[in-house]
Amino acid sequence: MSTSDEELTWREIEVGAIFTVPGTTADYQTGDWRSQAPSYNFDRCIKCGICQLYCPEGCVGQDEDGYFIADLYWCKGCGICARECPTGVITMVEETE
């Protein structure tokens, strides 16, 4: 059911228009809503994970070194992580075209 909704015909719709595949919005890019993006100075990072906890998108993951970093595919650039980071690792920078 993750076919584009513009292609679906009435015959392809599931019983009761029910979706059977969970969590398909993960394919949907909300990152292009962003006007500013988080930028990281990991020197100060204590890997507390506050940024991950408070992210409304749930888009903050950990890299292989254990640093927390937003996935820009979904990050809408709200700046909550930057505001809440206790050690000032994150600054929000304007996106450029």
Partner 1 sequence: MGRKVGIEVSIAISEAVKLANADVVAAYPITPQTHIVEHLAELVASGELDAEYIPVESEHSAMSACLGAAATGARAFTATAGQGLELMHEVLYVASSMQLPVVMVVANRALSAPINVWGDHSDMMAVRDTGWVQIVVENGQEAVDNVLCAFCIGEDKRVLLPVMVHIDGFHLTHVVEPIVLPDQADVDDFIPPNEYPLPLDPARPVTMGSFGPPVIYPEIKKRQDVVLRESKEVILENWQRFGEAFGRYYHPVEQYRAEGAKTLLMTMGSTSETAMDAVDRMRDQGMSVGLLKLRLWRPFPFEELLQAVRDADLLVVVDRAISFGGPAGPFCSEVKAALYNQDKKPKVMGFVAGLGGRDIPVGGFEAMVHRGMEIAEKGGGEILETYGVRE
Partner 2 sequence: MQNYTVFVPRLVPKKEPFAPGHRACIGCGEALAVRLACKAFPPNTIVANATGCMEVISSQYPMTAWRVPWIHVLFENTAAIASGIEAALKAMARKGLRPDDGTKVVAMGGDGGTSDIGLQALSGALERGHDLLYICFDNEAYMNTGIQRSSATPFGASTTTSPSGIKSIGQKTWKKNMAAIAAAHDIPYVATASHSYPHDLMAKVAKGIAVPGPAYIHILSVCPTGWRSAPDLSIRLGRLAVETGVFPLYEIEDGEYKMSLELPKLRPVEDYLNLQGRFRHLSEDTIKEIQERVVAEYERIKEKTG
Chain positions contacting partner 1, by CB under 8 A: 5-6, 8-11, 13-20, 22
Residue 67 interacts, among partner 1, partner 2, none and using kind-specific CB cut-offs from 5 to 8 Å, with none
The CB-of-49 to partner 2 minimum distance in angstroms stands at: 4
Distance CA 33, CA 31 (A): 5
* Closer by beta carbon to partner 1, 11 or else 97: 11
Distance CA 85, CA 95 (A): 20
Residue 97 interacts, among partner 1, partner 2, none and using kind-specific CB cut-offs from 5 to 8 Å, with none
Does residue 46 contact residue 86 with C-beta atoms inside 8 Å?
yes
Residue 25 interacts, among partner 2, partner 1, none and using kind-specific CB cut-offs from 5 to 8 Å, with partner 2
**Residue closest to 75 by CA, chosen among 89, 96, 61, 86:** 61
DSSP 70: E
Report the interface residues with partner 2, using CB under 8 A: 1-3, 5, 8, 17, 19, 21-30, 33, 47-50, 52-59, 71, 74, 76-80, 82-84, 86, 92
**Residue closest to 1 by CA, chosen among 26, 23, 27, 19:** 19
